């Protein structure tokens, strides 16, 4: 198994990325090779500085350009085919690697996935999934957390199905409890879109839809899959993550709150595309990068994206 990692993406790249990759390389299963994509000389110098001139399960692939964090995604991708993101998607498309991960420009990662490996047939809109720690243990998969600010009910109903398959195969949950994030528990509650999405989710016999949850249930252990539009999902997910930062600022240490730290999973998959693409926070630390790679390994092993393709076709 080969996992490509964008060495140049993220606020602390390439240093934090190379350090995280070295941490991961010491831990991943034997059959995993990590492919570092970026400016080869820079990366090699960093590896040398860590006393890791040559690591058996790390491979380097050169990419001369870098897409900046605030560049326009489509423009940047077409103008910089030799950027680390451009080269990473080329490797993924050619099946030279099984997954591509980056803490770089999120928009470019999203557009890159759509242009290279493309959406799964039947998928209305790919989305980004986030992991929400549950106080009862484990994580709920929340989707969409930001790819689609405006959602139609049909899109949200499909997020429920995609999330259910992902939770089943990647997390081994037998009949994932799918819920809709809403502003009341009754089915007639909520925005027009949420009301319509509720009906579609309820009517879908292929998922185990258990109804609405409210904002106060975010961490409550009532769900394995949380369906939401990308606007609500993004604002809630970021608020949820801020819990850890706030606790840290206040000198509070707690096992559960530690799991609300973005580093604990380290990445968010783009779901609904023909391959494994994982994006990470711009601020990603080495630990976050290491955990993102673990997630990638798990996802490749689960083969979730082909299960999604099978279910929708």
Among residues 83, 232, 274, 276, which is the contact residue for a copy of itself, using CB under 8 A?
Answer: 232
Among residues 150, 199, 248, 306, which is the contact residue for a copy of itself, using CB under 8 A?
Answer: 150
237 part of the interface to a copy of itself, by CB under 8 A: yes
> Which residue, 2 or 281, is less far from a copy of itself as judged by CB?
281
The HSE-up count of residue 98 (CA atoms within 13 Å, CB side) is 20
How far apart are CB 217 and a copy of itself at their closest, in Å? 8
- Per CB under 8 A, which region of 77-85, 115-123, 165-173, 188-196 contacts a copy of itself? 188-196
Among residues 11, 154, 248, 254, which is the contact residue for a copy of itself, using CB under 8 A?
Answer: 254
Sheet arrangement for strand 208-213: 58-62, 33-38, 2-6, 99-102, 276-279, 268-271, 127-133, 139-143, 225-227, 177-181, 208-213
- Per CB under 8 A, which region of 44-52, 168-176, 235-243, 289-297 contacts a copy of itself? 235-243
> Which residue, 159 or 243, is less far from a copy of itself as judged by CB?
243
- Per CB under 8 A, which region of 10-18, 49-57, 230-238, 291-299 contacts a copy of itself? 230-238
Among residues 160, 190, 269, 272, which is the contact residue for a copy of itself, using CB under 8 A?
Answer: 190
How far apart are CB 259 and a copy of itself at their closest, in Å? 12
| 270 closest CA partner among 88, 135, 46, 12 | 88
Among residues 183, 199, 206, 310, which is the contact residue for a copy of itself, using CB under 8 A?
Answer: 183
| Cα–Cα distance measured from residue 261 to residue 281, given in angstroms and rounded to the nearest whole number | 11
> Which residue, 124 or 311, is less far from a copy of itself as judged by CB?
124
- Per CB under 8 A, which region of 52-60, 117-125, 241-249, 303-311 contacts a copy of itself? 241-249
Q: Are 141 and 165 in contact (CB under 8 A)?
A: no
> Interhelix angle for 286-302 vs 153-171, to 10°?
90
Q: Pairing relation of β-strands 33-38 and 2-6?
A: parallel
From residue 104 to residue 143, the character string flagging contacts with a copy of itself as x (rule: CB under 8 A) and all else as - is: -------------------------------x--------
| Cα–Cα distance measured from residue 300 to residue 207, given in angstroms and rounded to the nearest whole number | 23
> Which residue, 59 or 187, is less far from a copy of itself as judged by CB?
187
How far apart are CB 183 and a copy of itself at their closest, in Å? 4
How far apart are CB 208 and a copy of itself at their closest, in Å? 22
- Per CB under 8 A, which region of 111-119, 197-205, 252-260, 272-280 contacts a copy of itself? 252-260
* Footprint of a copy of itself on 193-222 (CB under 8 A): 194, 214-220
Residues found near a copy of itself in the complex (CB under 8 A): 135, 146, 149-150, 181-183, 189-192, 194, 214-220, 230-232, 234-243, 245-247, 249-250, 252, 254, 256-257
């Amino acid at each position: 198994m080969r996992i490509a990692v964008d060495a140049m993406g993220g606020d602390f790249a390439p240093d934090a990325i190379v350090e995280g990759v070295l941490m991961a390389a010491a831990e991943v299963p034997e059959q995993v090779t990590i492919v570092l994509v970026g400016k080869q000389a820079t990366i090699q110098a960093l590896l040398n500085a860590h006393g890791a001139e040559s690591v058996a399960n790390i491979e380097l692939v050169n990419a001369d350009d870098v897409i900046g964090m605030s560049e326009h995604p489509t423009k940047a991708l077409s103008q910089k085919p030799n950027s680390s993101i451009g080269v990473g998607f080329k490797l993924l498309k050619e099946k030279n690697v099984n997954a591509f991960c980056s803490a770089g420009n999120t928009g470019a990662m999203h557009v890159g996935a759509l242009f290279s490996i493309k959406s799964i047939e039947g998928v209305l809109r790919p989305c980004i999934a986030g992991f929400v720690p549950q106080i009862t243990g484990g994580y709920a998969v929340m989707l969409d957390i930001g790819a689609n600010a405006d959602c139609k009910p049909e899109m949200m109903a499909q997020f429920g199905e995609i999330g259910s398959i992902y939770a089943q195969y990647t997390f081994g949950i037998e009949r994932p409890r799918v819920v809709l994030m809403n502003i009341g528990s009754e089915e007639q509650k909520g925005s027009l879109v949420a009301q319509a999405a509720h009906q579609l989710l309820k009517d879908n016999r292929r998922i185990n839809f258990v109804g609405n949850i409210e904002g106060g249930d975010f961490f409550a252990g009532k769900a394995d899959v949380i369906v939401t539009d990308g606007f609500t999902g993004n604002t809630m997910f970021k608020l949820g993550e801020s819990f850890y930062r706030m606790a840290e600022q206040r000198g509070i240490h707690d096992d559960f709150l530690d799991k609300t730290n973005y580093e604990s999973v380290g990445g968010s998959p783009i779901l609904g595309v023909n391959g494994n693409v994982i994006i990470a926070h711009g601020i990603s630390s080495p630990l976050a990068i290491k955990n993102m790679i673990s997630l990638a390994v798990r996802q490749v092993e689960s083969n979730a994206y082909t299960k999604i393709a099978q279910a929708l076709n």
